[in-house]
Amino acid sequence: MLTTWSKLYTSQIRKGDSYAVHRPAISIWIIGEAHFGDGSWLHVFEAHCCRTGHTLSPNFLILTIELEVFRNLKKGPDWDSVGPGLRKWLTLLAEGDTLDPEDLPESMADADVQEALEIMSTFKLQDRERILYDSRQDYEWTRNAEIAEAIQEGEKKGMQEGEKKGRADGERDKALSAARNLKRLGVATAVIAEATGLSTVEIEEL
């Protein structure tokens, strides 16, 4: 952060220019919610030494604007303490998504505000398009995951059924082999059927 400020500060002049043309390097933070909790919508911070209190430079500043606190100014006596120009632009930032370009307060009915509202509308449209795109992507990812899971489940079930059928076929082959041997030895069909679980018809056909 300090490096960025330094670049902003030193890049203002060219070789041979006077340092008098320098202007402060100010970072402005727009915060949607109340952050510091002291009731002030504007804070000005500067870099200073925590041990001695020595200020690094008065030309490096951070300005924070809390829009939620600014909105609440309308309900109190401090509203008039904000200059009309600043009040106009802060109102645009704080309430721009609810302002009707065709029905603006007189204090905001100018070409600059109209242009700003058109730009904000474009951003909102882009946001909606992005949300729709993200929703479609989420649907596709979810759908593909469900398909892949179904395929894996089907393959697993198929393997289980194949293994089950293989075991059944193997048991039957063993029973048929035992029945042939018993039949060759002259064992009665009924006895072979009881021993192997085969039907008498199956044994007689061997």
What pLDDT score does 162 carry? 67
Task: Report the C-alpha gap between 154 and 29 in whole angstroms.
Answer: 55
β-strand 42-46 against 60-66: which pairing, if any?
antiparallel
What pLDDT score does 120 carry? 76
- Tokens, residue 104: 């603006």
Q: What is the DSSP string of 100-153?
A: -TTS--GGG-SHHHHHHHHHHHHHHHHHHHHHHHHHHHHHHHHHHHHHHHHHHH
The residue among 133 and 53 whose pLDDT is bigger is 53
What pLDDT score does 2 carry? 58
Task: Report the C-alpha gap between 64 and 71 in whole angstroms.
Answer: 15
